[in-house]
Amino acid sequence: MNYLVHIAIMIEIYIMLALSLNLVLGFGGLMSLCHAAFYGIGAYATTLFMLHFHVSFLPAVAFSLAFTAVIAFLLSFPALRFRGDPFVLVTLGFQIIIYAILYNWISLTRGPYGIPGIPRPEIFGFQITSIKEYFVLASVFLVIIFIFLIPIYNSPYGLTLKALREDEIAAESLGKSAFRSFLTAFVLAGALASIPGSLYATYVTYIDPTSFTIDESIFQLTILLVGGSGNLKGPVAGAIFMVVLPEALRFLGLPSSIAPNVRQIIYGLLLIVFMFFRPQGFLGEYKVR
């Protein structure tokens, strides 16, 4: 039973990540390869606030969200000078920089040794200890993100992002600012990615840089490419499918030495197949070009 609850928690974490990345990719049409960096910044910021400044869980989440938003805001200025392939390369460079900082700044992040003993969340005097309680906590945060994002998805701002995605020049001719719209989406996506980072850190109670690599960014991107983007259903379907898939592979009895490699091969094949036959994913409306 605990195994199934664990899978459900990870699905919720990846739904949050996919929903936030959906603002940039699905609505804005910008392919970002640094979402795992924001995810990692949220995890490390929350951990450091709780361990070194003895801040309780909810204020630590709020501080890490604000901190990640500032980092995303600063990155957006060089990144949004470009579109298409150059934008992908700028975000890739940022992902590499953040990983290098997490790995090499040993005095702060403990580098490859990781940070153990992360406190469990305590909310209004109630300590989250069991896995079922943590599932409830993750569910509450997921509902909050849904409540926050659904009006944005359906707002005139969401339509503006879609218009810019389809034809930036035409949308700007109607008075829509591409830079301001994309900047807002990029900052919101980065800030929201810090929340599942906070939840992940306090759930596993140990983090190290290997959880926030370029492979993780590609995995999160794959969730949207497989499930679909530009709406609400695609990220949810993609997160469920991509989290359950490797767990299902466990029952094939693959040796542990090759199982991770087989998983990567399957992800690659999925991307190739979907790009050829279903570029909008299972339930998406945006065809990635």
Give yes or no for residue 254 having a pLDDT over 70. no
Three-class DSSP labels, 94-148: HHHHHHHHHHHCHHHHCHHHCEECCCCCEECCEECCCHHHHHHHHHHHHHHHHHH
Q: Are 227 and 284 in contact (CB under 8 A)?
A: yes
272 versus 249: the higher-pLDDT residue is 272
- The stretch 208-225 carries a mean pLDDT of 92
Residue with tokens 């994913």: 281
pLDDT score recorded for residue 245: 82
123 forms beta bridges with: 126
pTM of the model: 0.93
What spatial distance separates the first Cα and last Cα of the chain, rounded to whole Å?
A: 41
- The stretch 126-153 carries a mean pLDDT of 93
CA distance 2 to 19: 26
CA distance 243 to 247: 7
Lowest pLDDT segment from 21-30, 99-108, 271-280: 271-280
- The stretch 222-244 carries a mean pLDDT of 90
String of DSSP letters for 190-226: HHHHHHHHHHHHHHHSEE-GGGGSHHHHHHHHHHHHH
Q: What crossing angle do the helices spanning 2-22 and 178-204 adopt, rounded to 10°?
A: 160
Give me 47's structure tokens.
Answer: 């951990």
Distances from the Cα of 251 to the Cα of 5, 31, 189, 242, angstroms = 18, 34, 35, 16
Lowest pLDDT segment from 10-24, 60-74, 171-185: 171-185
**What phi and psi values does residue 28 have, to the nearest 5 degrees?**
-90, -20
**Virtual CA dihedral for 283, 150, 222, 194, nearest 10 degrees?**
-170
Q: Are 228 and 234 in contact (CB under 8 A)?
A: yes
CA distance 97 to 37: 9
Mean pLDDT of the chain: 89
pLDDT score recorded for residue 252: 67
When pLDDT is cut at 50, 70 and 90, the band that residue 188 belongs to is very high
Q: What is the per-residue burial (b if ≥16 Cβ within 10 Å, else e) of 226-238? A: bbbbbbbebbbbb
Residue with tokens 């109607």: 174
Hey, where are the domains in the chain?
2-210
271 versus 187: the higher-pLDDT residue is 187
Which of these, 212, 202, 209, lies nearest to 51 by C-alpha position? Answer: 202
When pLDDT is cut at 50, 70 and 90, the band that residue 82 belongs to is confident
Pairing of strands 115-116, 126-127: unpaired
**Amino acid present at 26:** G
Give me 240's structure tokens.
Answer: 């469920």
